[in-house]
């Protein structure tokens, strides 16, 4: 069979492997870890740093097409692969923009899509001269942040100056705190030919900066919101000349308007439900886009609730234990996904459960049962 290449060894890479293998492909994963969620299920695990010339060459030799599962892959690696004749999706151009918040925000705004008021910060003085309207706000490191890491909420300019010193980074964005009603995200798949399809928006709840719950039911969305969010995602993907799967995170403000918070150049945690609730999953689409196959059906077949499983669940009073999986699996249509991570840690994403139902109310009721079995708090 033919090979597909993946940069990164995390759970997104693992679920990509599953989708690719089901379609008859073999997958080579480039990841430095000895043991990783994707490396463990890949047909070949190349253990090398993401910028290791020999590792990149090995991947290029085997794989006519390569994708990535995390945004912090060096853009130079993508360029190097492309130079060796590999079809790289997404390309270095798109990834270089979205992996740097200063570029990402400027790009989104230039595409005519609203973002929260912000100022790029390259030195402390940029905070000193920033508009007073950016406070209270959030200072976010331009690079490498995820799950709310690398960002600090700041009530005042003085706090922002202090946060700049604490973050010890080369660049940040200072963003005004937006009056959120709630958050949604839209996953889009776009082929090399420019054809694009979007999934129904997921409504997302975070706990401690980490996604906790995503709920998807197109009938429960405010009228018109899906169309607005989809149009915006398509516009951004087109402007990025994007090939592959990406996710657009949006804020719905209390006045009903829509802002884009950030773009992830890969499948997204809020799209994991697609494996169990849609015609075609976001990972299946990743395979299709990179292999030049027709795009899959994005229709939501059943309303769903996705619960993230963090390492915290593996600890009770400081003692490590295995959560009650049987209790979860007793719940009808509770689809358990564990990522094969051997070391649970607080805040670490270890797996997720997607619970589907004939109606949203049924999915929520079942989600409460599954959560209850794990001692997890879930309130629709
Ligand atoms: P991710 O894991 O999604 O990549 P991240 O570390 O990149 O997270 P953001 O998505 O920028 O961080 O922010 C995390 C969360 O913080 C958002 O989902 C939102 O709840 C809140 N947040 C971020 N920016 C703002 C803002 N300008 N106003 C209000 N809340 C915000
Ligand atoms: Mg992010
Ligand atoms: Mg985010």
From the CA of 206, give the closest atom in ligand 1: 20
Q: How far is the CA of 62 from the centre of ligand 3 (A)?
A: 34
The verdict on the CB of residue 177 being under 6 Å from ligand 1 is yes
**150 marked as binding residue:** yes
pLDDT tens-digit readout, 184-203 = 999 999 999 999 999 999 99
Q: How far is the CA of 147 from the centre of ligand 3 (A)?
A: 7
pLDDT tens-digit readout, 324-336 = 999 999 999 999 9
Binned at pLDDT 50, 70 and 90, residue 319 comes out as very high
ipTM: 0.97
- Rounded-to-5 percentages of helix, strand, coil across the chain: 35, 30, 35
**308 marked as binding residue:** no
pLDDT at 61 over 80: yes
pLDDT at 147 over 90: no
Binned at pLDDT 50, 70 and 90, residue 71 comes out as confident
Percent of the chain with pLDDT over 70: 100
From the CA of 118, give the closest atom in ligand 1: 27
**261 marked as binding residue:** yes
The verdict on the CB of residue 31 being under 6 Å from ligand 1 is no
Alpha-carbon distance 173 to 113, whole Å? Answer: 17
pTM across the whole model: 0.96
Task: Please give the structure tokens belonging to residue 372.
Answer: 């209850």
Q: How far is the CA of 250 from the centre of ligand 3 (A)?
A: 9
pLDDT of residue 199: 98
From the CA of 147, give the closest atom in ligand 1: 2
The verdict on the CB of residue 209 being under 6 Å from ligand 1 is yes
**146 marked as binding residue:** yes
pLDDT tens-digit readout, 349-369 = 999 999 999 999 999 999 999
pLDDT of residue 142: 96
From the CA of 210, give the closest atom in ligand 1: 2
Binned at pLDDT 50, 70 and 90, residue 264 comes out as very high
Four-point Cα dihedral 17, 23, 25, 31, nearest 10: -10
pLDDT tens-digit readout, 7-31 = 999 999 999 999 999 999 999 999 9
pLDDT at 275 over 70: yes
| Residue listed under structure tokens 């209270």 | 136
Q: How far is the CA of 148 from the centre of ligand 1 (A)?
A: 6
Q: How far is the CA of 177 from the centre of ligand 1 (A)?
A: 10
Binned at pLDDT 50, 70 and 90, residue 146 comes out as confident
Give strand ranges (E) for 195-243: 196-198, 202-207, 210-216
Mean pLDDT of 55-61: 97
Selection from 317, 278, 284 nearest residue 300 by Cα = 278
From the CA of 178, give the closest atom in ligand 1: 28
Alpha-carbon distance 131 to 267, whole Å? Answer: 35
**Dihedral sign for Cα atoms in the order 177, 181, 182, 185:** negative
Domains of the chain: 3-88 (3.40.50.20), 117-176 (3.30.1490.20), 180-374 (3.30.470.20)
pLDDT at 223 over 70: yes
pLDDT at 180 over 80: yes
Q: In testing the pocket of ligand 1, which one of 209, 250, 252, 270 has its CB within 8 Å of the most ligand atoms?
A: 209
Q: In testing the pocket of ligand 1, which one of 261, 269, 310, 348 has its CB within 8 Å of the most ligand atoms?
A: 261
pLDDT of residue 1: 64
When the pLDDT of each residue in the chain is averaged and rounded to a whole number, the result is 96
Please state the three-class secondary structure of 306-365 as a single string.
Answer: EEEEEHHHHEECCEECCCCHHHHHCCCCEEEEECCCCCCCCCCEEEEEEEECCCHHHHHH
The verdict on the CB of residue 263 being under 6 Å from ligand 1 is no
Query: φ, ψ for residue 180 (rounded to 5)?
Result: -75, 135
pLDDT tens-digit readout, 74-124 = 989 999 999 999 999 999 999 999 999 999 999 999 999 999 999 999 999
pLDDT at 148 over 90: no
| Residue listed under structure tokens 């892959």 | 73
Percent of the chain with pLDDT over 90: 96
CB 287 within 8 A of CB 4: yes
């Amino acid at each position: 069979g033919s090979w597909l290449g993946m940069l990164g060894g995390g759970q997104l890479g693992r679920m990509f492997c599953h989708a690719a293998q089901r379609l008859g492909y073999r997958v080579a994963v480039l990841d430095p870890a000895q043991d990783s969620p994707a490396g463990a299920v890949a047909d070949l695990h190349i253990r090398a740093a993401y910028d290791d010339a020999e590792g990149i060459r090995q991947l290029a030799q085997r794989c006519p097409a390569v994708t990535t599962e995390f945004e912090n892959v060096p853009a130079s690696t993508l360029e190097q692969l492309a130079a060796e004749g590999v079809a790289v999706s997404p390309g270095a151009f798109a990834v270089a923009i979205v992996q740097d918040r200063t570029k990402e925000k400027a790009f989104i705004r230039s595409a005519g899509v609203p973002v929260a008021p912000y100022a790029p910060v390259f030195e402390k003085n940029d905070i000193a001269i920033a508009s007073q309207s950016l406070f209270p706000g959030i200072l976010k490191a331009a690079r490498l942040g995820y799950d709310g890491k690398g960002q600090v909420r700041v009530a005042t300019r003085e706090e922002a100056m202090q946060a700049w010193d604490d973050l010890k980074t080369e660049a940040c964005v200072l963003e005004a705190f937006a009056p959120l009603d709630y958050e949604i995200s839209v996953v889009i798949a776009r082929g090399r030919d420019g054809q694009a399809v979007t999934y129904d928006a997921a409504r997302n709840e975070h706990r401690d900066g980490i996604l906790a719950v995503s709920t998807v039911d197109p009938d429960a969305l405010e009228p018109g919101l899906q169309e607005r969010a989809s149009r915006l995602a398509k516009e951004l993907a087109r402007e990025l000349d994007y090939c592959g799967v990406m996710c657009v995170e949006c804020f719905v403000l209390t006045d009903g308007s829509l802002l884009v918070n950030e773009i992830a150049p890969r499948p997204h945690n809020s799209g994991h439900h697609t494996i169990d609730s849609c015609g075609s999953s976001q990972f299946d689409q990743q395979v299709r886009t990179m292999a030049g196959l027709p795009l899959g059906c994005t229709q939501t077949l059943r309303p769903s609730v996705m619960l993230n499983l963090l390492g915290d669940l593996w600890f009770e009073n400081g003692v490590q234990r295995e959560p009650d999986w049987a209790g979860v699996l007793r719940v009808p249509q509770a689809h358990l996904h564990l990522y094969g991570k051997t070391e649970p840690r607080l805040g670490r994403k270890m797996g997720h459960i997607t619970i589907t139902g004939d109606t949203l109310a049924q999915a929520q009721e079942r989600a409460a049962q599954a959560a209850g079995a794990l001692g997890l708090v879930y309130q629709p």
